[in-house]
A and B are shown apart, each in its own frame.
Chain A
Amino acid sequence: MPTKPNNDAPVIQIRDVSKVYEMGDGTIQVRALDGVSINIHDGEYVAIIGASGSGKSTLMNIIGCLDVPTSGTYHIDGQAVETMSNNRLADIRSRKVGFVFQTHNLLPRLTALANVELPMMYGHWPNRRKRAEDALNLVNLGDRMDHRPTELSGGQQQRVGIARALVKEPSVLLADEPTGNLDTANTAEILNIISDLNHENGITVIVVTHERDVAARADRIITLSDGQVISDETKPSPLMTKGELEGV
């Protein structure tokens, strides 16, 4: 699998997408996304940054097939999402994309292990338990498998959410502020895991973040402001040093 942007058809192709929220009786309109066009190719590592309320989560939800745009088109693997049946969308959520939520969205009454098994249950995976244990070990939660979300710290909950997204080996990993609640050591560890998935397994990664050093891991940084893409930069060379990067 290619690990760098290529000229093949993009995995994710967003054309002039807008998302308008109507409030009250339609009197107030919020343009969460306003004519966004982005292409993301297989194997890319993309960071999306922007001020709070700039539409980052809204964009991620659309990419993850959890929400639909008000206007514009979105193709995933060349297929128009607008024309897909509910079952097909569920299939994409189940197999194609792994989603790490800004708010962890764990099922409160299930243990960490059962939460991680959940997507595999809907995708009819074999060896669910073993895979879930491996995923939890990967995020350093091997000793917390039988804890429920309320018995875990915020950072631990976030890591369960990451394990749940990783466990099904998605071809696209969507992470909305995956390290928001983590300390430096844990952040570095999670970022390493994500980088490895990108470099070694060729998984396409899209990360929303506020933090510069998180964004710095990505090959491409897209900046949103008021629902519009104001910059879309690809790093000149993967061989750039950290010092050089900070100078950019």
Chain B
Amino acid sequence: MSPLDIIRTSIYSLTANRLRAALALLGIVLGVCSVITLMSIGRGSTDRITELIQGLGSNLLTVIPSGDPLTLTDVDALRDPLYTPSIKAVAPQIGTFGTIHIDNNTTQAAITGVTPEFLNVRNLEMGTGTFIGTPHVESLSEVVVLGAQVSEDLFGNQDPTGAEVRINGRQFRVVGVLASQTGFGSLDDQALIPITTAYYRLSGQRTPGGDISVDQISVQARDVESVDQAIEEIETVLRLSHRITDADDFTVFNQQEILDTFEETNQTLVVFLGTVAGISLLVGGIGIMNIMLVSVTERTREIGIRQAMGAKRRDIVAQFVTEAVFLTFGGGIIGVIAGLTLATAIDGRFLIGTEWSTRVTSNIPVIALIVSIAVGLFFGIYPAVRAARLNPIEALRYE
């Protein structure tokens, strides 16, 4: 039996019972559709997380205290190029909460005390005005740079540069507004003031030695290659200055590590979603097997006649497997179209309280189609072999 004859015979048999073929197809359509959609959602969310974390700034390391506080003395030590040649910039920060208001407009914001390096280390851009300068830090100036959201809450669309605001009752002059950021750790709802002002004017705590303690130090490595070297330098400097002999009293976070952790978590999610979708495809495959088994029983006489006409076992197997593969492949194509449509439709939409982002890569549909063919082969073989094993004369007598 030539391939063309096999295909023709299979199509002919399938069209004889259209409703049944369509129902068998539906299981595969749903399976493939959910595989495509869920995989696209998985890829989309991986992309988004990567984008968010990369928005934090490149080559960024974060040092936080995990025992004794970190101080400005530590910051100065880290800035010494003799000991830390791999470090480009160091930006300490102090965080506190505060109420900002003008006239009768009030908003709550995180107030962060920073130094001028903060701008570059955290990869920030100014919307309007200027950032906090070294003189501001040295003279404990009461100046503030507003996050985009804070600015909008207080001033609407007006440019607040030069305006006066009150933070926890103290008068501050707005020198600039940050450009709005989307991303992980966005500063839109924060207000930045000189670190010294934050320490002496807003927060009350003092270190025993009279030094300024900081909540976090952001460190920018020279480049991606020097990140590991930079981590070693930070650890060496801080261990020396803290006179550490055993456990460190600080922790260094690597942005890449955070990214890896997130991606790993997300990968797990993608695999999980893929498995769920795969199971629905499996169920579809079992549906195909069921239909094919019924079909073999129903067509016992037909099989007997074909055998009497000289059909070999392999001809019968080929016919029934081809029918099953046609079903799953057809279902696969419809499923791919439905899945791509669905994935595109929900991309960037707010549904069930989340913003969905999907990414369709060209290999997803290809894999889905190959898998659906494989499902047809796998679940079609058994019914086909059952058909081919029939004894011709018994098959011919079957009523």
Please report A residues at the B interface, Cβ cutoff 8 Å: 61, 64, 66-67, 86-87, 90-91, 93-95, 99, 101, 105-107, 109, 118-119, 121-124, 164
- Which residues from B are CB-within-8-Å of A61? 393
In the complex, the answer to whether B302 meets A107 with C-beta atoms within 8 Å is yes
| Nearest CB of chain A from residue B232's CB, rounded to whole Å | 73
Please report B residues at the A interface, Cβ cutoff 8 Å: 1-2, 5, 12, 16, 301-302, 304-315, 391-393, 396
In the complex, the answer to whether A107 meets B305 with C-beta atoms within 8 Å is yes
A64-B5 Cα distance, complex, nearest whole Å? 25
Q: If the complex has contacts A105-B396, A107-B305, A122-B1, are A86 and B313 also in contact, measured as CB distance less than 8 A? A: yes
Q: In the complex, which of the residues A66, A91, A106, A123 contacts B392, with contact meaning CB atoms closer than 8 Å?
A: A66
A60-B305 Cα distance, complex, nearest whole Å? 15
A64-B12 Cα distance, complex, nearest whole Å? 28
Considering only CB atoms, which chain A residue lies closest to B394 in the complex? A67
In the complex, the answer to whether B310 meets A91 with C-beta atoms within 8 Å is yes
In the complex, the answer to whether B309 meets A118 with C-beta atoms within 8 Å is yes
| Nearest CB of chain B from residue A206's CB, rounded to whole Å | 16
Q: If the complex has contacts A87-B312, A109-B12, are A93 and B307 also in contact, measured as CB distance less than 8 A? A: yes
Q: If the complex has contacts A61-B393, A66-B392, A109-B16, are A99 and B308 also in contact, measured as CB distance less than 8 A? A: yes
- Which residues from B are CB-within-8-Å of A86? 312-313
- Which residues from B are CB-within-8-Å of A123? 310
Chain A at the B interface: SS class: helix
- Which residues from B are CB-within-8-Å of A93? 307-310, 392
Q: If the complex has contacts A66-B393, A66-B396, A118-B306, are A90 and B5 also in contact, measured as CB distance less than 8 A? A: no
In the complex, the answer to whether A122 meets B311 with C-beta atoms within 8 Å is yes
| Nearest CB of chain B from residue A202's CB, rounded to whole Å | 22
- Which residues from B are CB-within-8-Å of A164? 309
In the complex, the answer to whether A122 meets B2 with C-beta atoms within 8 Å is no
A118-B319 Cα distance, complex, nearest whole Å? 14
Chain B at the A interface: SS class: helix
- Which residues from A are CB-within-8-Å of B396? 66, 101, 105
Q: List 19 A-B contacts (CB under 8 A).
A: A66-B308, A66-B392, A66-B393, A67-B392, A87-B314, A90-B310, A93-B307, A93-B309, A94-B311, A101-B396, A105-B308, A107-B306, A109-B12, A109-B16, A118-B306, A119-B309, A119-B310, A121-B1, A121-B5
Considering only CB atoms, which chain B residue lies closest to A65 in the complex? B392
A129-B68 Cα distance, complex, nearest whole Å? 94
A122-B314 Cα distance, complex, nearest whole Å? 11
| Nearest CB of chain B from residue A107's CB, rounded to whole Å | 6
Considering only CB atoms, which chain B residue lies closest to A91 in the complex? B310
| Nearest CB of chain A from residue B15's CB, rounded to whole Å | 10
A86-B393 Cα distance, complex, nearest whole Å? 14
In the complex, the answer to whether B310 meets A105 with C-beta atoms within 8 Å is no
In the complex, the answer to whether B12 meets A87 with C-beta atoms within 8 Å is no
In the complex, the answer to whether B310 meets A94 with C-beta atoms within 8 Å is yes
A95-B311 Cα distance, complex, nearest whole Å? 11
In the complex, the answer to whether B393 meets A122 with C-beta atoms within 8 Å is no
- Which residues from A are CB-within-8-Å of B2? 121, 124
A122-B1 Cα distance, complex, nearest whole Å? 5
In the complex, the answer to whether A90 meets B311 with C-beta atoms within 8 Å is yes
In the complex, the answer to whether B16 meets A90 with C-beta atoms within 8 Å is no
- Which residues from B are CB-within-8-Å of A106? 305
A105-B313 Cα distance, complex, nearest whole Å? 19
A136-B51 Cα distance, complex, nearest whole Å? 73
- Which residues from B are CB-within-8-Å of A121? 1-2, 5
Q: If the complex has contacts A86-B313, A124-B2, are A105 and B393 also in contact, measured as CB distance less than 8 A? A: no
Considering only CB atoms, which chain B residue lies closest to A110 in the complex? B12
Q: If the complex has contacts A66-B396, A87-B313, are A122 and B306 also in contact, measured as CB distance less than 8 A? A: yes
Q: A64-B308, A122-B306, A122-B311 are in contact. List 7 more A-B contacts (CB 8 A).
A: A66-B393, A105-B301, A105-B304, A105-B396, A118-B306, A121-B2, A122-B315
